[in-house]
Amino acid sequence: MIVFEKLFEKMAQMEVSTYRLCEECGIDSKTVRRLKANDNIETKTLNKLCAALDCKIEDIMEYIPDC
């Protein structure tokens, strides 16, 4: 399972709100809800997130094996 807990930790560290992510970075509010639910998102969204937060993909997501 892919989880996005690191994304929200990174956002808190950088003091970036979900509102700012939506308004300034072009991330849809529905996408933010999907991220919070660890649901599927498009790779172009991952690209936008990494660009907006100036980070690597492993800084915002993590694979946790299903047991």
Distance CA 19, CA 64 (A): 28
Residue-level pLDDT at 66: 84
- Percent of the chain topping pLDDT 90: 87
Q: Structural domain of residue 32, as residue ranges?
A: 2-63
Whether residue 67 has pLDDT greater than 80: no
| Longest alpha-carbon distance in the chain | 38
Provide the whole-model pTM: 0.89
Residue-level pLDDT at 16: 93
Q: What's the number of domains the chain is made of?
A: 1
Is residue 41 within 8 Å of residue 31, measured between CB atoms?
A: yes
Q: Residue 24: which pLDDT band, with cuts at 50, 70 and 90?
A: confident
Residue-level pLDDT at 43: 95
Residue-level pLDDT at 25: 82
Residue 24, domain CATH: 1.10.260.40
